[in-house]
Structure 1
Amino acid sequence: MVKHIVLFKLKDNVSEAEKLVVMKKFKAAIEALPAKISVIRKIEVGLNINPDETWNIALNSEFDTLEDVKFYATHPDHVAAGKILAETKESRACVDYEF
């Protein structure tokens, strides 16, 4: 099994209200993906409630193989969900590990 964890930081010049709208829309889109992408074993999106921390969004997901992660990453429905953050995302960090 592979755990795929991604953190997103949104731009500082985006208002908190706009960030929250984008974050909720992204969360809903990502958490709807298991119905469309069969290789997803588990997926959840957490929205950071601690303003003292750097990262705004945490995505935690599980797959059988790294090949499944790559399939998910390029799937059109995942790509569309990622575009929700396109205008507001400043940076992204990712770790894939076996467990």
Structure 2
Amino acid sequence: MVKHIVLFKLKDEAPADKKLAAMNDFKSAIEALPAKISVIRKIEVGLNMNPAETWSIALYSEFDTLDDVKYYATHPEHVAAGKLIAEVKESRACVDYEE
């Protein structure tokens, strides 16, 4: 099994209401993906509640293989979900590891 963890940092200068709306839209879109992308075994999105921390969004997902992660990453539904935070996203960090 491959675990795919992604953290997103949002732009400090983006308006708080715009960031919150984008975060909630992104969470809803990502968590709806298992019904559209069969290779997803598990997925969840956490929105950081601690303003003292750097990262705003954590995405945790599980796949059978790294090829499945690559398929998911390029799937049009996933790409569309990513665009929901594009304007407010500053950076992204990702780790994929096998259990």
TM range (shorter): over 0.9
Count of residue correspondences = 99
Q: Over aligned residue pairs, what C-alpha RMSD do you find?
A: 0.5
User: Segments of 4+ in structure 1 off by > 3 A?
Assistant: none
Instruction: Output one character per residue of 1:31-52: Cα deviation in whole Å (capped at 9) or x when no partner.
Output: 0000000000000000000000
TM-score normalised by length of structure 1: 0.98
Unaligned runs of 5+ in 1: none
Q: Could you tell me which residue of structure 2 aligns to residue 62 of structure 1?
A: 62
Q: Which amino acid aligns with 1:3?
A: K
Partner of 1:91: 91
Find the aligned partners of 2:74 and 2:15 in 1 and give their Cα distance. Answer: 30
Q: Does 1:9 align with 2:9?
A: yes
Point out where structure 2 has 5 or more consecutive residues left out of the alignment: none
> CA offsets per residue over residues 17-66 of structure 1, 9 Å max, x none?
21111000000000000000000000000000000000000000000000
Q: Distance in 2 between matches of 1:58 and 1:31?
A: 12
